[in-house]
Amino acid sequence: MSSTAEKRAPTLSHSPFPSQRVVSVHHWNDRLFSFRVTRDPGFRFRNGQFVMVGLPAAGPETKPVMRAYSIASANYEEHLEFFSIKIDDGALTSRLQHLQEGDHVLLSTKPVGTLVLDDLKPGTRLFLLATGTGLAPFLSTVRDLETYDRFEQVILVHCVRRSADLAYRELLTLQLQEDPYLGEMVREQLRYLPVVTREPFVLGQRIPELIASGTLTRHLGIGPLDPAKDRAMLCGSMPMLRDTQAALEALGFEISPSQGLAGDFVIERAFVG
């Protein structure tokens, strides 16, 4: 890491969380953006986990505004990257979307989460099923060597409303294939399937409907979903999680019962309630 990144960022006043400096911001469109921040040299996490990200209180109150954000960068990268929606009246994103290089954000120091490979039973195919910014944890998963060691095929399905919302598409279709360490495995084992529901597109059904109808695997030209060999990770909106879980369970898949216990599929339990 650079000498700047190696220095621990100061803790902002009235906050128990240390801060990290913003090194870049990218606006995908009027609803989505991503940002990278410095990484404390002692910070460790497992691909698929999340941390609390926030900003100091805007008013006289002393409690900072914090929200859970999956880490989109891989655990070996120099910076931490996050993928966010923009909500004009949101308690956090109304301010977070205006970040600029050099600004500071608050970051919790204990990563947690259930979207980790260890909570899946052994299998041959891994389905990463995401809607919207639920793509974030899987951006780290597909850059994890262990993912390709454990599974023969990795299928990443990203479902959005508009084609303009297919963030990171170039990374997933081009850049990863040229990665000096992962490129060969990505070309042979990773398949990326974009889905758009509110514009004309090749696939326009929601993920649970694609699963229930069998369209998902038929479109990919692979065998039907099979709980004996297939595993899945789910991240997205509450309706997506609920309906996709039901679609998988109807096919005989069993969810990981709790963190640390392996199942046929996992969801991010912290976002369910």
Q: Place 268 in a pLDDT band, splitting at 50, 70 and 90.
A: confident
Ranking 11-20, 107-116, 145-154, 260-269 by mean pLDDT, the lowest is 11-20
Average pLDDT over residues 76-89: 96
Spatial contact of 24 and 101, defined as CB atoms under 8 Å apart = yes
What pTM was estimated for this model as a whole? 0.92
User: CA nearest 85: which of 96, 99, 101, 71?
Assistant: 96
Q: Place 223 in a pLDDT band, splitting at 50, 70 and 90.
A: very high
User: CA nearest 18: which of 100, 80, 104?
Assistant: 104
In our burial notation (b when 16+ CB lie closer than 10 A, e otherwise), range 206-230 reads bbbebbbeeebbeeeeeeebebeeb
